[in-house]
Amino acid sequence: MIFKYIKSRWSQPCGYKEILDLAWPLILSASAVTIQQFVDRIFLSWYSSEALAAAAPSGAFSFLAIGLFIGIVGYSNAFIAQYNGAGLNNRISSCVWQAIYLSIIFSALILCILPFSEKLFTYTGHSFKLRVLEIQYFNIMIVGAFFSICGSAVSGFFMGLGKTRILLAANICATIVNIILDYLLIFGKFGFPEMGIKGAAYATIAAMAVSFIILTAILFNRSNRNEFQTHLGWKLNSKLIARMMKYGFPNGLQLTIDCFVWSMFLLFVGRLGTVELAATTLAFQINSVSFMPVIGVGTAVAIIAARELGKNMADNAVKSAVSALHLSGVYNALIAVLYVGLPIIFIYPFTSKADPESAKQLFNLSVILLRFLAIYTVADSLSIIFASVLRGAGDTLFVMGAFFVLGIGFLMLPVYYAVQPEGGGLIWAWSFVTIYIFLLSITFFFRFRQGKWKHMRVIEHPSIIYEG
């Protein structure tokens, strides 16, 4: 019976096959981006433990600074998917151009942060040597933020139309560039200067620039000019921009809140010691790589849900969510078993070339943290799938609110207490992480079951009236 059910659901609309056809390039694409960070961290761990420890908080703070803007312009993919589902392809080009205009403005605004970077990291409580490295990495990422923000706007076109293989090709090229430059610039090989953590930052910016250039060239190629008139939608559309801000701002703010909460988590853990921060950084990097398939499935189901809602076929959007839950649940259950049973396969790349004494401490602590990941990994996949469907529909305000309330009340504040001398330390801090993830999954599940999202649209469809 199970086999027959799987076979039936495989081929039906919004079934396993449709999701995987859309998701596998997204999975590999997202994995490629994460592998860039993964390689950064491996090389930095070989370079010095201070460089590895500094990369996580400075990287988190740099994304915190630009996450709002990436979330706003990146949400154009929901508009494009709903326009495509509703058969309004003539409006897609204008949507892309408005996102590009917003990206240029946001990229200029972000530079205003640079004069305050040194003061920002002074408040971390980290050692002076660590702060110097954090500031160096942060400043370089902010200067190169244009490629990240505008790249997100251009990516929205391909993602919204389900042209995910193009995104994969661009990100593979970017990953190759990143790995090569990482090796050359971090360690100073083949005549390049030895730059340490600064080399990792420059390599990341160069990779984002490569991806942006490739996607922009394809956006305006002959095929897309003919089908979507991408070269003609450049006129400013204030009404469309207003709608993009209405739905995109909560989406971007949710990314910012999420990044802020996790940045504070890393900051608080850093007060416990360098080993604790390094182990936490390592655990997050391991989870980010192994979790990429779920992120890809979540992105795919958001696109499918938005497209089906554009067609006024909410039942199909529900089917896509159920199919995604089955796929992600099985995968994460297997990952949880590996986290507990074979932690060495995840940890060894980080510790193989480190100082033996430091490597032993890092390994032992990381094994414990992987057990926490195993406990909450399935719940994390549930929250991602449900939240993705809600975002695809336009329920971005609720998603943002949930991340804010739960992130502040059940993660950031409890962890702040946990790192105090009387608070219980790293184990208690990670216990609150687990509670937070479970609460997110429960919250989004009930919102999904409530069904209000089925009547929401981000596009100006005349047959749709939604209040509230």
pLDDT tens sequence across 282-293 = 898 888 777 778
pLDDT in tens, 337-393: 999 998 888 888 777 766 677 778 888 899 999 999 999 998 999 999 999 999 999
pLDDT at 267 over 90: no
Residues 6+ apart with CB under 8 A from 314: 308, 454, 455
pLDDT at 441 over 80: yes
Residues 6+ apart with CB under 8 A from 178: 36, 39, 40, 203, 204, 206, 207
Contact assessment for residue 78 and residue 161, using Cβ atoms and an 8 Å cutoff: no
Q: How far apart are CA 336 and CA 371, in angstroms?
A: 8
pLDDT in tens, 181-224: 999 998 989 888 888 888 999 999 999 999 999 999 999 999 99
pLDDT in tens, 105-155: 999 999 998 888 888 887 777 777 788 888 889 999 999 999 999 999 999
Q: How far apart are CA 331 and CA 323, in angstroms?
A: 13
- DSSP for 30-71 reads HHHHHHHHHHHHHHHHHH-HHHHHHHHHHHHHHHHHHHHHHH
Q: Which pLDDT band holds residue 104 (cuts at 50, 70, 90)?
A: very high
Q: How far apart are CA 309 and CA 311, in angstroms?
A: 5
